[in-house]
Structure 1
Amino acid sequence: MRLVVAGSPAAAVPTLRRLAASEHEIAAVLTRPATPQGRKRVLTPTPVAQVAEELGLPVIEAARVDDEVTARIAELDVDLGVIVAYGALLRRAALDAPRHGWVNLHFSDLPQYRGAAPVQRAVMAGDTRTAATVFQLVEALDAGPVYASDPFDIDPEATSGEVLAAMAEAGADTVARVVDGIAAGTAVATEQSGEPTLAPKLTIEDGRIDFSAPAAVVHARLRGVTPEPGAYAHLGETRVKLLRSSRVPGGAGDPAPSLAPGALAVQGGGLLVGTADDPLVLTEVQPAGKKPMDAAAWARGLGELDGKVLA
């Protein structure tokens, strides 16, 4: 089949590469425009645009799929559209432009976690399993019938960024299988069933860590908001990014001290922080204006920790 592939971030790259290596033809790649990046604000194409150029594929850059972009897609005479995290909604005319419409790779077990942040919300909730789901795109949010849903186990120590990267690789095979099935006329889509839940985009406030919650909840939130929007807390007036944590292994070495929520202590070369129950180990932090560093080394630089509290 002739395909148009739409996507923008790194999570869409494995699917693009997988389809480019298949027997199908990619007529064009649709992605969002280049944006200023870094301290020098260098205009930088999306990861998908960079890989499309590497592969020699035509690129359409557009912040939204308006009438002009829809007309360009229609002129391509494509059989199917494939979309992975493009970052904009498609209206009815655009959905109807390919002969078989569009399929979307979504990183949840639909109808759970419909929306922009399914992996982050699943990790924040402490879920241990999710799925890479390919469904027929419709005008309603992530509501179309499902062609395939492959289960995916969530590593209990992985950040949402790490989970998403792994799911993007696994999901590329799911997409390819569905595209092959549509080409062969054997693919069957089934309407979603069950009560939908939503996964709205995270805000900066979602990254603020509340140490008055139990350790499992704190650890899940820290993992879920990493790398974006990023976990943080304040030590006095200083904002500290919290890059990685781990649960204290039960029964290993000296028993963990009892710490008030947010209170700090160094034990066995690691930095502990109190929660509503057991302490967590903070393993990597980034103080304001500094580079990421070992959390225990940062704590040693603070001097006496009594009375110092992350909040």
Structure 2
Amino acid sequence: MRLAFMGTPDFAVPSLAELIASGHEIVAVYSQPPRPKGRGQKLTPSPVHAFAEAMGLPVFTPESMKAAEAIDIFKSLDLDAACVVAYGQILKPEVLEAPRLGCFNLHGSLLPRWRGAAPIQRAIMAGDRQTGAQIMRMSEGLDEGAIILSEVMDIHADDTAASLTERMAHLGAALWPRALAAIERGGFTETEQAGEATYAKKITPAEARIDWTRSAAEVDAHIRGLSPFPGAWFEVEADGEPVRIKGLMSALAEGDGTPGQVLDEALTVACGTGAVRLGRVQRPGKAAQSADEMLRGFPVPAGTILVGLQSEGSSFSTRRDPQV
């Protein structure tokens, strides 16, 4: 089949690799334009862009697929189908209807649950036990198209957004050859989505702040769902100034106390009910490290209280509990 592939992040690279290995003709790869990155703010191609160039594939990086010129170029490709994985742009009807068989998208949830930008993070943060990868026919609505192929996967108790994304990227990539073979021969059933839709909105930095008044299970899920990016965060006072620290890995732990209270010298923190132990953290301008390593150079003594979102409008601060 003559295909266009449209994707941008690391998550999409295994899908492109699978399509190449399957023998399809990839006549064009679309990705977001290179963006400034690093201290030097050097323009850097996306992971999909870089991989496609390494494979000798033509790459298109329009600022907007809504532009008439971009749409005309896409139409001129004479495509059988387009495969879309986390491309990052809305496609107009003219684009969706241009390939002979249509445009198809790999989505990282069991639709209609978690339509939108951050389905993997939201599933972990919500405490879901299962999720999945689905290939669907694209429509004008946000992730509202009919489902063609699905694969269910468990969310492990120690999964982070990074680990689940990695597993799902490869699981989803393996769906493409089966889905395209069925699409090409017309031997598939399109199943309309059923049930109540939920939406996986983009994570904001403010939302990533840890609320220690929630249960330990909820705090743990919040931390793991935001690891490594953008990173759930809390603040500790050092030299009279608040220092924002990201919690990148956690586990449920024994203990109780005032929500936000550090219970021991291993960065176990009390929650609304139960406690979590922070296993991996990151300070501003520093590389991620184990909590033990950070505490050797940046102590957070037992008894420190990390005050969370206990009331509307409250802000983070730290103090020592005089009774500890």
User: TM class, shorter-chain normalised?
Assistant: over 0.9
Match of 2:259 among 251, 261, 267: 261
Q: Give the TM-score taking structure 1 as reference length.
A: 0.93
My pick for the range that moved more, 234-243 or 97-106, is 234-243
Q: Which residue of 1 aligns with 2:305?
A: 309
Q: Which runs of 5+ in 1 are unaligned?
A: 249-255
RMSD of aligned alpha carbons: 1.4
Q: Is the 8 A contact 2:263 2:303 kept in 1?
A: no
Give the Cα–Cα distance (whole angstroms) in 2 for the partners of residues 208 and 242 of structure 1.
10
Q: Is the 8 A contact 1:63 1:88 kept in 2?
A: no
1:156-180 alpha-carbon deviations (Å, 9 max, x no partner): 1111121111101000111221111
Q: Which residue of 2 aligns with 1:2?
A: 2
Q: 1:93 to 1:56 in 2, by over 3 A?
A: same
Q: Which residue of 2 aligns with 1:251?
A: none
Q: Which residue of 2 aligns with 1:53?
A: 53
2:235 aligned counterpart, secondary structure: strand
Q: Which residue of 2 aligns with 1:197?
A: 198
1:12 aligned counterpart, secondary structure: helix
Give the Cα–Cα distance (whole angstroms) in 2 for the partners of residues 184 and 67 of structure 1.
32
2:251 equivalent to 1:246: yes
Give the Cα–Cα distance (whole angstroms) in 1 for the partners of residues 300 and 209 of structure 2.
25
Name the aligned partner's letter for residue 97 of structure 2.
D
Q: Which runs of 5+ in 2 are unaligned?
A: 308-324
Q: Is the 8 A contact 2:145 2:192 kept in 1?
A: yes
Q: Is the 8 A contact 1:206 1:225 kept in 2?
A: no
Name the aligned partner's letter for residue 265 of structure 1.
L
Match of 2:282 among 274, 279, 286: 286
Give the Cα–Cα distance (whole angstroms) in 1 for the partners of residues 107 and 213 of structure 2.
33
Q: What displacement does 1:144 show?
A: 0.8
The 5 A counterparts of 1:231-242 are 231-236=232-237, 237-242=242-247
Q: Which residue of 2 aligns with 1:137?
A: 138
Percent of residue pairs bearing the same amino acid type? 40
Q: How many residues align?
A: 302
Q: Which residue of 1 aligns with 2:15?
A: 15
Q: Which residue of 1 aligns with 2:126?
A: 125
Give the Cα–Cα distance (whole angstroms) in 1 for the partners of residues 92 and 165 of structure 2.
27
My pick for the range that moved more, 168-177 or 81-90, is 168-177
Q: What displacement does 1:27 show?
A: 0.7
Give the Cα–Cα distance (whole angstroms) in 2 for the partners of residues 293 and 112 of structure 1.
34
Q: 1:295 to 1:304 in 2, by over 3 A?
A: closer
Give the Cα–Cα distance (whole angstroms) in 2 for the partners of residues 81 and 140 of structure 1.
17
1:134-156 alpha-carbon deviations (Å, 9 max, x no partner): 10000011111110111011111
Q: What displacement does 1:131 show?
A: 1.0
My pick for the range that moved more, 55-64 or 257-266, is 257-266
Give the Cα–Cα distance (whole angstroms) in 1 for the partners of residues 178 and 290 of structure 2.
43
Name the aligned partner's letter for residue 153 of structure 2.
F
Q: Which residue of 2 aligns with 1:109?
A: 110
My pick for the range that moved more, 278-287 or 99-108, is 278-287
My pick for the range that moved more, 285-294 or 200-209, is 285-294
Q: What displacement does 1:302 show?
A: 4.6
Q: Which residue of 2 aligns with 1:187?
A: 188
Give the Cα–Cα distance (whole angstroms) in 2 for the partners of residues 63 and 180 of structure 1.
32
Name the aligned partner's letter for residue 63 of structure 1.
E
Q: What displacement does 1:306 show?
A: 4.3
1:205-249 alpha-carbon deviations (Å, 9 max, x no partner): 12100111100000000011112221110113111111111122x
Q: What displacement does 1:300 show?
A: 4.4
